[in-house]
Structure 1
């Protein structure tokens, strides 16, 4: 068995790993590269392998940096099965259709303004391409070992990152490869904790927060309540960039749980996402994946998705209307890194207001507007125009959907024999810190994946 590393190998987006085993070739994830315009342009480049030569694709979870190029892979000739956990399969269609719609709209907008002689812009893929890709998806439940190709078996284990997120166990050639996908922290509301893995010959593990530990979640929730109180006194709006799957649902969970304590009835809460209602529907259909407290909460009180002052904006007109509200609005909108989506338009209308507050509740990738704002930028360029940043910017780190350094070490530490480890999905400072800690604690051989690198599993 051999692993070729193509994406998320020194960065936190574009997950893409190729496995050769039992005479077959398969992919682990096929994610979108996100960040600066230069980084995102790499999505248009040819894959570093021939799509028609692949036999299968295995998906860890439904975030765009792990699935965003799946329709492009199919468009370029991949015809094999796409295996995903059942909830992930439901979310994939929603996420990919939204990505295609955005790509089509941006191409149309660009073509309206292109100069004479410039080539016509084409979307990376269309909604028809998404539908073609989804026809190849094969849903699988958790904890079921299944042969997906002759001589190749997989099983999905709970990863605790978003609904349906999975660590992948893969058996072939007498060896076992484990791919963590993205791991969540213990105690995330709604989700179950990551499942322990018993053994492996090689582990590919994410390292997004490999160099730091999160604040206690309880402290973070108290901070969020204080920010909302401060924002109400200042008389402005609160903008929260958040991905439509995972973070948005967690925020609504905390809002519902603390509605009285935080006096949330005075606010209008907007979930501004064309995906929101559909994603909520997936959550409602998969109660069996909730942790016990969430199942109990759903059974004995109204769902967080049905709060009386929650407004789900689906149409562009509904989204535009929110910008007429100058105070008293909590606006949750994608994307989570503020590099695209409806949150960008709300930032245009609020960044220059001293009374406004912007709250970042997740990782901000290099080259994104979110990273620049977190780093204290005084000006923000949006759609070709510069906006002065007068709003108060907050970073609330304890709500991360990724395990921190200690969580990653604990998850890896459960694996018998502490096998060889490859760190993926992390920037170098984070990976180097985590490699040092794990190497010192367990004596493990730790490799930092690089694009183009190939490793043999088990030294064969």
Structure 2
């Protein structure tokens, strides 16, 4: 069994790993790099392997940094089978089509600028047709705990990772004269959170390829984080401004809606609080959440069984159409606007930042991870102004960074998950190098690897 690494190596985005076993070439995820221009350009580079040589792609979950380059993979020759859970299949469809649409829009904007300035236009990484062609490659549906045969004496089993709806850790086993096994953690969830179950512990394996996003820190507790969110909203309403929440469409948007509903029901937020979910992808994802109660924890499942929608608010407005989104720019104050993208790298949130960042009475509340080089990280790090749509916008709004909402396991949870598996080899990926090294120092009785892109390991 041979493993090679082609993304999220000493970095947080672009997950892509290759397993060669049982005469098959199996790809685990094919994600997009997110961050500065340098990372964006890396998306268009060669994968480091021939896409046409890949037999099967196993998809851990539907976040863009795990599935975002699948349409490009298909465009360049992949004709194998994609296997994932039912919920991930639905979410990945939304994510890939949305990414294609955004790239087409961005390419068109660059083309207009290039014509004006006599420059060469930037092409889209892929288009909507590529995304639709990628959907044709989805085959068998994985169920948690059910073994899938990939080839004779080669199997894969998906386990609930508790990260987002449908997310999974994947255990691959090759049997024969000597059995070899490896577990890919995917992104592990934060235990004790609403909506989804806690991460499952797969059976032990020879090697573990695990994420280290928060390998060097502990999360703030969820209760004070929710209180901080309520305080930020109430304070902004009292000042007469708007609250802009850059929101990841999958999981984070639904979790914030869950807590806003609870806050209103408990009288901690105004009953008439206008909340706008200004993200077509988040709206679609919320509808998909409603279709997959098999992923819920007991509390959320009981809410649905009792006829209660955990994501419904008295004054919740879905704004799918562009015209409705533009109309939000006329809101002087008193509204909560949730819009993508979570790292402010694109999407409608950039328009809302343009209209609210300069206002002292408004607030921007960051509730998710911001990768280096992204607009969200630049704002969080204290820049006095940002450039949006060709304008220099001063940053006068009140900023809140609430880390307790993370959908990732923190250092303690990652260590507990790893201890349960007792692997001989531990390969650390999907984390900034500082976090990776800090986490690795806490591991014992295992051989630690921190691969660079293109490195390979034989088991």
TM-score by length of 2: 0.96
Provide the secondary structure at the position in 2 that maps to 1:437.
coil
Contact 2:8 2:430 survives alignment (8 Å) = yes
Q: CA deviation at 1:306?
A: 2.9
Q: For residue 287 of structure 1, what is the aligned residue in structure 2?
A: 293
1:241-300 Cα deviation digits (max 9, x unpaired): 111111000000111112142223242101011123321221111012100010112233
Correspondence 1:324 to 2:330: yes
State the alpha-carbon separation in 2 of the partners of residues 211 and 306 from structure 1.
36
SS of 1:381's partner is strand
Deviation at 1:120, TM superposition (A): 4.3
Report which stretch shifted further, 153-162 or 170-179.
170-179
Give CA-to-partner distance per residue, 1:310-337, whole Å, 9 cap, x none: 0011011111111110211111111111
TM-score normalised by the chain length of structure 1: 0.96
Residue matched to 1:87: 87
- Name the residue aligned to 1:66: 66
Distance in 2 separating the partners of 1:216 and 1:274: 30
Q: Distance in 2 between matches of 1:47 and 1:403?
A: 28
1:373 to 375, 379, 393: 379
Partner in structure 1 of residue 256 of structure 2 = 251
Deviation digits for residues 142-172 of structure 1 (CA, Å, limit 9, x no counterpart): 1110112344210110001000000000012
1:348-396, CA deviations, whole angstroms, 9 ceiling, x for partnerless residues?
1100000111111111101001111111111112233221100111110
Partner of 2:457: 455
**CA 1:262–1:301 in structure 2 vs 1: closer, same or farther (change >3 Å)?**
farther
Q: Is the 8 A contact 1:266 1:328 kept in 2?
A: no
SS at match of 2:238: helix
Aligned to 1:131: 132
Match of 1:237 among 238, 242, 252: 242
Aligned residues between the structures: 453
Secondary structure of residue in 2 paired with 1:108: helix
Partner of 1:446: 448
Aligned to 1:96: 96
Contact 1:255 1:264 in 2 (8 A): no
- Deviation (angstroms), 1:239: 0.8
Rounded to whole Å, the distance in 2 between the matches of 1:325 and 1:99 is 28
Equivalent in 356, 364, 367 of residue 362 of structure 2:
356
Separation in structure 1 between the aligned mates of residue 154 and residue 389 of structure 2, nearest angstrom:
47
**Residues of 2 paired with 1:318 and 1:304: CA distance?**
25
Q: Secondary structure at the match of 1:265?
A: coil
Matches within 5 A, 1:3-402: 3-115=3-115, 117-138=118-139, 139-173=141-175, 174-260=179-265, 261-300=267-306, 302-402=308-408
Q: Secondary structure at the match of 1:205?
A: strand
Residue equivalent to 1:409? 415
Which of 420, 433, 440 lines up with 1:435 in the alignment?
A: 440
